[in-house]
Structures are given as C-alpha cells and as structure tokens.
Amino acid sequence: MSNTRTETSNVLVRFLKTKGSIVIFIVFWLCASLFVDNFFSLDNNLLIIKQAAIPVICCLGITVVLMTGGIDLSLGYTIGLSSIVVGIFVKTLHMPIPLSILLTLLVGLLVGIMNGVIIQVLKVPAFITTLGTGYVIYGLAQIVSSGSNINRLPANFRVVGVTPIGGLNTTVLIALCCCVLFYYLLHMSTYGRSLQAFGFNPNAAKMSGIDTPLLNISVYVLCSVCAALAGVLLTIRVNCAQPTMGNDMTFEVITSAILGGASLFGGIGTVIGSVFGVLSLKIIENCINLLNVSYYTYQAIQSIIIMLAIIFENVKNRKL
Amino acid sequence: MESDNNIITMDHIDKYIFDAYGKPLHGTNVKILDDVHFDMRKAEVHILIGENGAGKSTLMKIIGGLIPYDSGTFTYMSKPAFFKGPKDSLSQGIGFVHQELNLCQNLSVAQNIFLGSEPLKKNSRFIDKDMIYEKSAALLASLGFEIDPHELTSNLSTAQQQIVEIVKVLSYNCKVIIMDEPTASLTQKEIDKLFGIIRTLKEKGISVIYISHRFEELKEIGDRLTVLRDGKYIGTIDMVDFDYDTIIHMMVGRKLGAMFTTNHKTTTDEVLRVENLKIAQRTAPISLHVNKGEIVGLSGLVGAGRTELAKSIFGVRQYYGGKILYNGKELIHQVPKKLIQDGLIYLSEDRKVEGCVLPMQIDQNMTLAALHQIFKNGYIDKGKERNICNQSVGELGIVSQSLQQKCNTLSGGNQQKVVFAKWLITEPKLMILDEPTRGIDVKAKADIYKIIDDMASKGVAILFISSELPEIIGMCDRIYVMAGGTIAGEIIDKKSFTQEKILSYTVT
C-alpha cells in the first residue's frame, strides 16, 4: 500500500527529529576519526568521556529548566560558589567529607529555591532573575574566599571523584547515576509528563490539575543542585577550590542541551539528547586541542553551533 | 444582470480547514467554506449573518486578503482579485475593521491611525508628526468623535478604541469596508453615530460588509443580507423582505431536535450550590444550584461573566464573597488539583490556550488530568495508558491515525473530543462545560451533545455554558441567563425555552 512508504519515511523523520543528537554525534565522531590525527585511540576517547562527565551533570539540570521554557544563567556561578564552599568545608574547617558534600549540595538547593521563588512568585523573567542572582552568587563566592583559591585538598576528599574504574573514574560513574535518575524523572515518572505539558502550555497544565508553581520552582532547584554537584567534582578534578571555577560553563551546557534537541521555547528535552549533545561538543573541543588551534576558536564555534541548532529547530517546526 | 454594478463577486468559493498560517492542514478534508457565493453592489450595506462557525470570518479574511481561498472565482472591480496580504488588499481599497482590537496600545491615537502610512515631510525621509496629529484631529472631528489624537491608546475605553479602528480604515479612501461586529462593545449613542457614518459612506459610494448578531440593528442599517450556515451559502435577501422567522430558519435550518439527544433523567440531589458569589467588587451576587443528572444551561452574551463565574468555582480566579458548596461541603481556597480529584472539572472555553496541549500526543493529553491512574509501582504504565486511551477513542469516536499523533494535527472537533476524553477519564461528578462546541463542525457537535447526555444519564451534574441559543434550548433542563456579571433570570419550564425569552433577559 502507498501508506507503507509514508510510514517508513515517517519513522525515519521521527527518528531524526527525536534522536537527531545521536546522528550528529556519530557524524562528528566519524569525521574526527577520519580527519584528525591521534583522535582515533582508546585513551583519547576515554578522555572525552571523562571530560564530558561534569558538563553532563550540569546539562541534565539545565535541560529540565529549558523544558519549562525558562533558563538558568546563574549555573556557572553556582559551580564557583559550591567549589569554594566545599573547599572551605574540607580544608579550612576539616569537616567530615560526606557532611561537607551534603552541605554544599544544600547551598545549591538554596540557590535554586531563591531562583525559583523569584521567578515563580515574584514573576521576574527567568533570564533577568538568573542573570542577576548569578552576579550575587559570584560576589558571594569572592567574599567567602577573599578572592583566593584553596589548593592541595585532602586525599580522602579527592577519592570521591578520581578513583579509577577501568580506564574511567568515579566522576563518570556519578554522572551515569545522574543520567539514570534524570531518565527516570523525565521519561518514566509523572514529573516529566507534567513538565512537558507545562513547557508547552502552562495554562492547560494548570487547568488539568498540575501543581504548576511547585513544578516551576522545582526545576531551578534541580538545576542548582546539579551545578553544586558539578562544582564539587570539578574541584576534585583540578585539586583546587576556586571561586571563579566553571563560570564559563553556562554557555557550554546550554549549547549542549540545544544541540541535544532541547527547545528554548519549552516542552522538549531528553536525557539521551543532552548526553549526546555534551559528547558532540566535547569532540569538537578535543579536536581543537589536537589540532593545536586556539581555545578561543572553540568558544566561537560554540556560538555558531547554538545558533545553527536553533535555526534547525525552527526549520523542523516549519517556522521558517 | 447587475454584474457591472457589482464591486465584488465570489462564486463556488471553497476553503479547507487551515492552520494558524492559513496553510491547509494535512490529512483533513473538512471544508469550512463549501461552494460559497457572495456578491456586493456599489454603495450598499451588505449584512452577513450566521451562527458561530458558519464561516463568516473566514469569508471576510479571504476578501480582506489575510488568507487565500482554495478554489472558486473571486472578482473585485470586474477583475480577478489577487491579494498578497492585508496591506495589498487595503491599498486596493478593501478595509477591514477587526472584531478584536488590533491597535498598538503604546502609541497615540494619531500614530495608530497612520500606522504604516505615515506622511513624510517634504523632500525628506522623516515623518511629518504635525501632519499626523492635524489630519487625525480633522478626521475625528469630521465624524463627530471627541477623542484627543495625542491620547495614548491604552488610556481609551474599548468603545473608543473601536472607533479609532474604524477611523483608521476610513483614512485610507476605501471602496469596501468590512466591519466584523463593530457594535459589540459600543454604547447606543456611539452605535447611532456609527450608523450615521455608515450612511455617509454609502452616499459617497462606499460599500460596507457588516457582520453582526444584533437583529434589532440589522433592519435599520442594511440593504441586503446573506446567510451562511456550516460553511455553506444559504441565500441572500433584500432587507425589505426582512422577517425574523425566515432569517432564524435560514440560520438554524434544521429541526433542533434532530441534533440533540436527551435521554437523561434529572434528580433532586444537589451537587453544586453557589450562594451570593460576586465575581467582581461591584457586581450583584450570584446564586445557583445544579443537581445530579441535570444539565443546567448558563446563557448570556459574551462578557456577561459566565466564564468568570466558572473559573471562580474552579479556583483559578479570585471572587469577592459568597459561598460555593460542592456535595454539601463548602469549598475554601480550592485548587484545580484537589477539585479534579473530588470529581469537579472545568472544560475551558479556549481549547488552544487552556484545554489542549497542542504539541503533545493524543494519549499524553488524555491522561494529563489523571496521571495518578497510570502511575503505578513508581513508573508510568504505558500499557495501561494505551488501554484507557483506546477505550476513550472508541467511545468518543475520535478520528486519528494513532494515539501518538500530535493534537495540533487534529481537526477542532477531534481536539475537543480529546479534551472531553481527558476529563471523562477522571470520572467527574460535576462538569462545568464552557462553550464545549465552539468552532467545531456540525457532526462533532452532535457527537458532543450525545457525550454530554450520556454523562448526565450516568448521574453527572452538568453546568453548560454556551452563547449558542439552539444548543442551550435543545440540551438543558433548566436555564440561567447571565447579564452584567450576575444572574438576570432563571427559566425552569422547558416549554418556555425560546430564543426570545432568553434574549429578553440578556438586555439590561
């Protein structure tokens, strides 16, 4: 029947629309393997995964925010704040490691509640709110650190993130756990379904009995806790707590999420997409290192990618 | 015949159902205009009437150049008409006064009037601001309106804004002016002035297409009248032959009984009681009740406060004093989530904004209000979801390719059925239905009446809000009529359900 052909093409279109990030990843990876010397080696590929682990955690957080149609520009500054805070806890105050990490995540939670409440209750647009709170958080990190870094962190703290597991390390494992958790939240529980409805049509979601205010605050909390966790792991990786750490990561993870198919207009976002979005971007960064090109090129490429991704989305939704 | 006297002639116009951009939707062959004829003479006031969804606005959008027609012939000034867009049709002499206000609130009256056609200073590219205000003042004064052209548009009343819209169109020397319900927000004094303007236009040889639901004013202003019904052309008559019953018959055109199913039996168990509720500070209090198995109509003109009342009950709008009792218990600080769990649901009048999540799939929309039903053992049971939804699709006769189809690819009628399914899955005990048949085709309407009747037969109490009098009369056991934010009258006796009686209460 004539339907079968349209059916197959529909399946293909559907696959490209939903799993496009995997296709992009494969294309990037194949191109890099073919054209960039030293890319195609096990060690290099494991390195990419290790480098991707921390951005993946942040990217999952920003994905849930993007799904509501919001944005969190304070993410990078939250990483810096949690870095210096955890540094003070473990080095200066000699607090037990589990407690230090837990308290740091609590700081992230408070940042998230602050963002969420300002956006939901006081109705300030997410863009302005998080731009503003971002600078507050940045200032706060500078104040508590007096502008200086904390070096040589205790070994029993570093164990949490750098213990090797067959070529990879515990940071990758933690990121993987986050992926599982977010996969459950977004794709198996009612939370994800509510989030999708809220992102597409907040009025209809509210009228269908979804607790939209709580939902809207919860995404910023999730995002900031992810940022705090990323801050802890990043501190472990570089063995130094810095108040300015991760400040440039906001744009990178938003780009990754968009590349992974998340929509800036809300409603769309997947865990698998975001993970492959980060991996694709990390391949580019890796190639730029291998080719000895200036790091600033990477930043420019990021901007081009985010715009191309949005243009592609507009084409996909037949807006262009 | 009089073809050389005709300024517009349209024949066999078809238009398929379209999306927000005027492009036809895929996979549907629903016509919203089906073989429509329309002709217009020079210097006449041609009235266009029909029920909601009859295709009046679509036809006007075609004439106004907003959307293209799919087939048929359309001649304007003895030449085939082709408009690239509203600006093109305006430059060719067709002006459109929209029903919704299309003014920029942040600009002054004069800036709005000359928006897009600002006069320039001599030998320069700069706008001649003095000229704009001068001309606007002259225009407004010549028509006898006391509006300051310097005033910010947002400071004007709705009626004044409507006048600015009309003046704006008049500033373009149009040959044809389309007015879509221009009197909806005007006071009697302003209506008289508007009619004065229309008569002056007629003397100048300008034709006016006039859409209205107000029968009283039609005879006063119109020359001829065309009736559309369900996208089809019914007929054109001279206003000399205007007769109320004939027109109603042309508009409704069917035996009311045939559309409606009423097999339900009413009881006396009270489900909802509203006592002295005020929807605004200054409106009179509202009291009403709805019984189990009863369909209670809530009629009235747009803006009478029906939706406000419904939203107040549903806990999504502030109200000022009064009590709402549901199953004998007073509702305090109610929220939709809790009410839905208790079986009280509200089907919103605006399907696209508050009813359906259009970019989501059919099944995802259907279970949105009953997620706890399919969330078992810590995850969404997709199998159970599929079963529930397939059952609803069958029961409601939803036409779709699969449950995974996105709702924005469905026709309006099917979208509304999906919204109905969403609420039926929650097993409601009281349904507040706000314009449940707005903008959907006749077949789907009859289906929805059947669903409503079935629910009432199962003992569900129904509060049925509608602007369409035939369906209120055909479906309801009791009718409340709202006007000016309060209940203006209650009609209990089914024998005295007439359009005239209901309309008599809406006039305050």
Distance from C-alpha of B298 to C-alpha of B307, rounded to nearest angstrom: 10
Q: Please give the structure tokens belonging to residue A301.
A: 């490429």
Distance from C-alpha of B205 to C-alpha of B327, rounded to nearest angstrom: 63
Distance from C-alpha of B363 to C-alpha of B368, rounded to nearest angstrom: 9
What is the pLDDT, as a whole number, of residue B144? 75
What is the pLDDT, as a whole number, of residue B4? 60
- A237 and A161 in contact (C-beta within 8 Å)? yes
Q: Helix/strand/coil (H, E, C) string of A177-235? A: HHHHHHHHHHHHCHHHHHHHHHHHCHHHHHHCCCCHHHHHHHHHHHHHHHHHHHHHHHH
> Residues, chain A, total?
320
Residue A14 lies in a domain: no
Cβ contact A205–B340 (<8 Å): no
Q: How many CA atoms lie within 13 A of A45 on its CB side?
A: 9
Residue A166 lies in a domain: yes
- B8 DSSP assignment: E
Report the DSSP beta bridge partners of residue B117: none
What pTM does this model have? Answer: 0.78
**Structural domain harbouring A158:** 41-290
CB of A241 within 8 Å of a chain B CB? The answer is no
Query: Distance (Å) from the C-alpha of residue A104 to the closest C-alpha of chain B?
Result: 29
pLDDT single digits (tens) B93-127: 898 888 767 888 899 999 988 887 788 888 888 88
**pLDDT at residue B294 tops 90:** yes
**pLDDT at residue B51 tops 90:** no
Q: Please give the structure tokens belonging to residue A7.
A: 């059916």
CB contacts of A201 in chain B (<8 Å) are: 353-354, 356-358
Cβ contact B368–A210 (<8 Å): yes
Mean pLDDT of B369-373: 91
Residue A92 burial class via C-beta count within 10 angstroms: exposed 0-12, middle 13-18, buried 19 and up: exposed
What is the pLDDT, as a whole number, of residue B29? 64
Of B407, B219, B275, B417, which is closest to residue A267 (Cα–Cα)? Answer: B407
* pLDDT band, residue B55 (cuts 50/70/90): confident
Distance from C-alpha of A16 to C-alpha of A20, rounded to nearest angstrom: 5
Query: Distance (Å) from the C-alpha of residue A39 to the closest C-alpha of chain B?
Result: 41
Mean pLDDT of B153-165: 81
DSSP B259-273: H----------EEEE
Q: Please give the structure tokens belonging to residue A172.
A: 């990758």
Please tell me chain A's helix, strand, coil percentages from 3-state DSSP, rounded to the nearest 5: 75, 0, 20
Out of B337, B357, B380, whose CB is closest to A209? B337
Residue B455 burial class via C-beta count within 10 angstroms: exposed 0-12, middle 13-18, buried 19 and up: buried
**pLDDT at residue A4 tops 60:** no
Q: Which class is B1-93+173-253 in CATH?
A: alpha beta
Q: Which of A244-258, A301-315, B47-61 has the lowest mean pLDDT?
A: B47-61
What is the pLDDT, as a whole number, of residue A221? 98
Residue A89 lies in a domain: yes
Contacts of B152 (CB under 8 A, 6+ apart): B105, B106, B107, B108
Q: How many CA atoms lie within 13 A of B162 on its CB side?
A: 18
Distance from C-alpha of A5 to C-alpha of B291, rounded to nearest angstrom: 54
Out of A193, A201, A207, whose CB is closest to B336? A207
Best of B23, B371, B384 to substitute, by most chain A Cβ atoms within 10 angstroms, is: B371
CATH number of the domain where residue A224 is located:
1.10.3470
- The segment with the largest mean pLDDT, out of A54-68, B10-24, B265-279, is A54-68
Between the CA of residue A173 and those of A150, A283, B14, B113, what are the distances in Å?
A: 26, 20, 62, 65
Cβ contact B378–A189 (<8 Å): yes
Out of A190, A204, A209, whose CB is closest to B340? A209
What is the pLDDT, as a whole number, of residue B441? 67
3-state class (DSSP) for residue A77: helix
**pLDDT at residue B399 tops 50:** yes
Residue B407 burial class via C-beta count within 10 angstroms: exposed 0-12, middle 13-18, buried 19 and up: buried
What is the pLDDT, as a whole number, of residue B256? 46
Higher pLDDT, B18 or B389: B389
3-state class (DSSP) for residue B304: coil
**Domain spans in chain B, listed from the N-terminal domain onward:** 1-93+173-253, 101-172, 266-343+428-508, 358-426
CB of A209 within 8 Å of a chain B CB? The answer is yes
3-state class (DSSP) for residue A138: helix
pLDDT single digits (tens) B423-451: 999 999 999 999 998 767 667 788 899 99
Residue A304 lies in a domain: no
Nearest CA in chain B to A317: B359
- A116 and A220 in contact (C-beta within 8 Å)? yes
- B79 DSSP assignment: E
Query: Distance (Å) from the C-alpha of residue B446 to the closest C-alpha of chain A?
Result: 25
Q: Helix/strand/coil (H, E, C) string of B85-120? A: CHHHHHHCCEEEECCCCCCCCCCEHHHHHCCCCCCE
Q: What is the largest CA-CA distance in chain A?
A: 73
Question: What are the backbone angles phi and psi of residue B481, rounded to the nearest 5°?
Answer: -115, 130
Angle between helices B382-396 and B412-425 (to 10 degrees): 120
**Percent share of chain A, pLDDT over 90:** 79
Q: Please give the structure tokens belonging to residue A239.
A: 């063995």
- B210 and B48 in contact (C-beta within 8 Å)? yes
pLDDT single digits (tens) A114-130: 999 999 999 999 999 99
3-state class (DSSP) for residue A95: coil
Higher pLDDT, A204 or B5: A204
Averaged pLDDT score across all residues of chain A: 91
* pLDDT band, residue A35 (cuts 50/70/90): very high
Residue A169 burial class via C-beta count within 10 angstroms: exposed 0-12, middle 13-18, buried 19 and up: buried
Contacts of B277 (CB under 8 A, 6+ apart): B285, B286, B287, B309, B312, B319, B321, B322, B323, B324
Amino acid at B7: I
Q: Which residues of B68-105 are buried (b: 16+ CB within 10 A; e: fewer)?
A: bbeebebbbeeeebebeebeebbebbbbbbbbeeebee
Nearest CA in chain B to A194: B368
Question: What are the backbone angles phi and psi of residue B428, rounded to the nearest 5°?
Answer: -75, 160
Question: Beta B461-465 vs B430-434: how paired, if at all?
Answer: parallel
pLDDT single digits (tens) B463-497: 999 887 888 988 999 999 998 888 999 999 888 88
* pLDDT band, residue A237 (cuts 50/70/90): very high
Query: Distance (Å) from the C-alpha of residue A218 to the closest C-alpha of chain B?
Result: 18
CB contacts of B348 in chain A (<8 Å) are: 204, 207
**CA Rg value for chain B:** 25
Reported as type and span, the H/E element at residue B487 is: strand B486-491
What is the pLDDT, as a whole number, of residue B19? 56
Of B414, A183, B31, which is closest to residue B406 (Cα–Cα)? Answer: B414
What is the pLDDT, as a whole number, of residue A8? 63
Cβ contact B379–A184 (<8 Å): yes
**pLDDT at residue A83 tops 90:** yes
Give the CATH fold of the B266-343+428-508 domain.
Answer: Rossmann fold (3.40.50)
Q: Which of A147-156, B186-195, B406-415 has the lowest mean pLDDT?
A: B186-195
Reported as type and span, the H/E element at residue B178 is: strand B176-180
Residue A302 lies in a domain: no
Distance from C-alpha of A183 to C-alpha of A179, rounded to nearest angstrom: 6
Distance from C-alpha of B208 to C-alpha of B256, rounded to nearest angstrom: 33
pLDDT single digits (tens) B318-359: 999 899 999 999 998 899 999 999 999 999 988 888 999 999
Q: Which of A163-167, A181-185, A255-259, B68-72 has the lowest mean pLDDT?
A: B68-72
Residue A306 lies in a domain: no
DSSP A144-188: HHTT--EES--HHHHHHHH-EETTEEHHHHHHHHHHHHHHIIIII
Domain count, chain A: 1
* pLDDT band, residue B35 (cuts 50/70/90): confident
- B33 and B202 in contact (C-beta within 8 Å)? no
What is the pLDDT, as a whole number, of residue B476? 93
Residue A23 lies in a domain: no
Contacts of A132 (CB under 8 A, 6+ apart): none
* pLDDT band, residue B239 (cuts 50/70/90): confident
CB pairs < 8 Å spanning A and B: 71
**pLDDT at residue B361 tops 80:** yes
Angle between helices B158-170 and B129-142 (to 10 degrees): 110
* pLDDT band, residue A297 (cuts 50/70/90): confident
CB of A206 within 8 Å of a chain B CB? The answer is yes
* pLDDT band, residue A1 (cuts 50/70/90): very low
Q: Which residue has the tokens 């709705």?
A: B158
- A105 and A225 in contact (C-beta within 8 Å)? yes
Question: Complex ipTM above 0.90?
Answer: no
What is the pLDDT, as a whole number, of residue B392? 93
- A262 and A149 in contact (C-beta within 8 Å)? no
Residue A174 lies in a domain: yes
Contacts of B74 (CB under 8 A, 6+ apart): B8, B9, B10, B13, B62, B63, B80, B81
**pLDDT at residue B277 tops 80:** yes
What is the pLDDT, as a whole number, of residue B180? 83
What is the pLDDT, as a whole number, of residue B1? 41
Out of B316, B346, B357, whose CB is closest to A201? B357
Averaged pLDDT score across all residues of chain B: 85
Mean pLDDT of A38-45: 93
3-state class (DSSP) for residue B422: helix
Of B16, B117, B35, B22, which is closest to residue B65 (Cα–Cα)? Answer: B22
Out of A196, A208, A267, whose CB is closest to B369? A208
Q: Which residues of B256-272 are buried (b: 16+ CB within 10 A; e: fewer)?
A: eeebbbbebeeeeebbb
Nearest CA in chain B to A208: B369
